[in-house]
Amino acid sequence: LVQTWRAHREALFAGTILPVGSAPDGHAWTGFVSFGRGRPDGYALVFRELSPVAEAQIPVRGLGENLHWEMLGGAGRVDSVRGALRVTIPNTLGFVFARFCAGR
């Protein structure tokens, strides 16, 4: 995971980073989205704390539809639907790290 992070950190931190989901409280879905500057691409890092549900829809202002998603780390899946992230993480205390770009 560290090797993956190193490969993407420059692009990740060059973007506009916004918190998404709920404030961490031990039971929330929480994370960050990084939007590329002037480009329809970016990254999502989402954590499932001790939430009893394995899927969440997290509103993200400015998130487009028809995006192509590439999983970079974690276990689960992520896509976008109607201005929200739809994230599935099968295990509590899990995460997904993904990159998105305009649909292909």
Q: For the whole model, what pTM was predicted? A: 0.91
pLDDT for residue 64? 80
| End-to-end CA gap in the chain | 26
Distance, in Å, from the CA atom of 92 to the CA atom of 42, rounded to the nearest integer, reads 25
Q: pLDDT tens across 9-62, in order?
A: 888 898 899 999 999 999 999 999 999 877 678 999 999 999 999 999 999 988
E strand intervals along 15-89: 16-21, 29-35, 42-48, 55-59, 67-74, 77-81, 84-88
pLDDT for residue 104? 57
Average pLDDT of the segment spanning 74-102 = 94
Sign of CA dihedral 1, 73, 46, 93: negative
pLDDT for residue 54? 98
pLDDT of residue 68 exceeding 80, the answer is: yes
pLDDT for residue 40? 75
